[in-house]
């Protein structure tokens, strides 16, 4: 029986993985059976009655793995409630135009499967963790480093999504 909720994600440096874990933890606290898994490892959607799918934003876009996952499973995903979240550094600035840009990272997947909810969260950027290529880019754009994740906002979003998945 499809009684679980899937939280599927991609993450290059682990910060989105931790956001996905926090979302899963919040749902579990509400009594839901949850699996938090990298999108690339999920093969079968039959155990799931809903899916929450997220990616970090790199150069304005989602990473390929969750996009491929949604493309491959779009038929199953159209039959259950789906929510998307994006994690990006720009979100920290809070400016509505920038938030819109961050939300635009989800345009493609929204066209494949219409979500019941979307969320954008500030992420984490730590130079010491980055590949040389990524460090070069962040230096060029003078990106601000630090951990800007707002755990209460993330957990509140998870609760709001659960309300949409199973209205009282
Ligand atoms: C090369 C590079 C490009 C990035 N591009 C964006 C971007 O276009 N928009 C944004 O909001 N954040 C951008 N970020 C910030 C990441 O989305 C942020 O650090 C995120 O938390 C990384 O997630 P991860 O640790 O799961 O890989 C970029 C970071 C790097 C290193």
CATH of the domain at 159: 3.40.50.360
User: Using one digit for the tens of pLDDT, what is the confidence trace for 123-149?
Assistant: 999 989 999 999 999 988 888 999 999
Instruction: Supply the pTM of this predicted model.
Output: 0.96
Predicted local confidence at residue 168, as pLDDT: 63
- The domain in which residue 99 lies consists of 4-165
Kindly provide the b/e burial profile for residues 26-42, where b requires at least 16 CB atoms within 10 angstroms of the residue's own CB. Answer: bbeeeebebebeebeeb
Total domain count, the chain: 1
Decide whether any atom of ligand 1 lies within 6 Å of the 55 Cβ.
no
**68-125 pLDDT, tens per residue?**
999 999 999 999 999 999 999 988 777 889 899 999 999 999 999 999 999 999 999 9
Evaluate whether ipTM surpasses 0.95.
yes
Distance of CA 100 to the CA centre of its chain: 16
Verify whether ligand 1 is closer than 6 Å to residue 60 (CB atom). yes
Pocket residue to mutate for ligand 1, from 123, 131, 133, most atoms within 8 A of Cβ: 123
Tell me if 10 CB under 6 Å of ligand 1: no
């Amino acid at each position: 029986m499809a009684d679980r909720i899937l939280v599927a994600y991609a993450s290059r440096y682990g910060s989105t993985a931790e956001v996905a874990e926090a979302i899963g933890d919040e749902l579990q606290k509400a009594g839901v059976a949850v699996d938090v898994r990298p999108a690339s490892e999920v093969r079968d959607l039959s155990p799931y009655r809903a899916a929450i799918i997220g990616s970090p934003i790199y150069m304005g876009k989602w990473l390929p793995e969750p996009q491929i996952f949604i493309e491959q499973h779009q038929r199953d995903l159209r039959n259950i409630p789906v929510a998307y979240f994006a994690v990006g550094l720009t979100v920290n600035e809070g400016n509505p135009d920038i938030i819109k840009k961050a939300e635009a990272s989800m345009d493609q997947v929204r066209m494949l499967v219409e979500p019941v909810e979307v969320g954008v969260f500030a992420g984490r950027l730590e130079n010491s963790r980055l590949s040389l290529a990524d460090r070069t880019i962040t230096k060029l754009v003078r990106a601000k480093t630090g951990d800007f994740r707002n755990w209460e906002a993330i957990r509140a979003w998870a609760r709001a999504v659960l309300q949409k998945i199973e209205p009282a």
